[in-house]
Structure 1
Amino acid sequence: MSGAEAGRGPRLVPVRGADGRVGWSLVAANGRRLASAVRAYRNDRELAAGIGELLAERAALRFVLGQREDRLWVWTAHLPARTTRAGAGGGEAIARSARGYLRRDQCRQSVTAFLQGADHVQRLRRLGGGGGSVLPSGW
């Protein structure tokens, strides 16, 4: 994949809140946000670790679709559970749809776009030197 091809695909964009905490958004090549982090991280190191976990576990994510009070469909991605004890939760929520959708099938398509975007980001990460930073230079 050439540098020009890499620039046309989805990318992770760090987002810094007013409180100094950081999160991320997955942005499509056309600039539309596909997903965002559920949690805010205390610093860039925690953010990089969270993104690394998301990318490493992307094939095992569990997606929950539901409707908000305004009747728009949204999804939330959950990491796999880290325990085998009875009654344990289904894993921590890590990502959510960036917007609501009028129809359930559109929401499901958004899940597919998110997974494809995450796969693209992981390929770029591998090409960029293996375990290198997932944060843009200068962040």
Structure 2
Amino acid sequence: MAAERRGPRLLIVPAADRCVGWALRAANGRPLGVGVRTYRSEDELSDAVRELIIERAALRCSTAQAEGRQWVWSAYLPVRSTRPGAASTVPVARSARGYLRRDQCQAGVEGFLSGLQWVGQELRRSGRDGRWPL
């Protein structure tokens, strides 16, 4: 029997109005990041997460101080439209918590990106054709 590989996990998170969202957790349960949008169905959520995993190398991440003076990060996918003014300022993911220092926040970004990388590799390895949940 092959040993089960432990690593980050994408979780389905219930949201308001019978919608769902996602969260990325480390193998030890520590939150790595959460999705910003909610989705009407698990199929819609699965398609969005699949796109995020496929496009993870193109993510643009930024850090800023929130109202409570804690540092937070946000991740943005590139805009796919050539229309003037089509740039989206809504992130696809954000930090699951605030950080006391900017360097801790940046380490949180790196942990999130590494987690996405690991999940993407696991989806390919498992032969699930990029389908989630894992």
TM-score using structure 1 length: 0.88
Of 71, 88, 93, 2:86 maps to 88
In 2, Cα distance between the equivalents of 1:19 and 1:121? Answer: 28
Query: How many equivalent pairs are there?
Result: 133
Amino acid at match of 2:76: H
Gaps of 5+ in 1: none
Q: 2:11 aligned with 1:13, yes or no?
A: yes
SS at match of 1:19: helix
In 2, Cα distance between the equivalents of 1:82 and 1:91? Answer: 13
Alignment partner, residue 97 of structure 1: 95
In 2, Cα distance between the equivalents of 1:54 and 1:130? Answer: 16
Contact in 2 for aligned 1:38/1:93 (Cα 8 Å): yes
In 2, Cα distance between the equivalents of 1:124 and 1:66? Answer: 31
Contact in 2 for aligned 1:80/1:91 (Cα 8 Å): no
RMSD between superposed Cα atoms in Å:
1.6
Identity %: 50
Per-residue CA shift, 1:23-80, capped at 9, x if unaligned?
1100001111110010000001100001001001100001121111100000110011
In 1, Cα distance between the equivalents of 2:116 and 2:130? Answer: 16
TM-score using structure 2 length: 0.91
Q: CA deviation at 1:90?
A: 4.8
Per-residue CA shift, 1:5-36, capped at 9, x if unaligned?
x2x21110111124210111000011111100
Alignment partner, residue 56 of structure 1: 54
Gaps of 5+ in 2: none
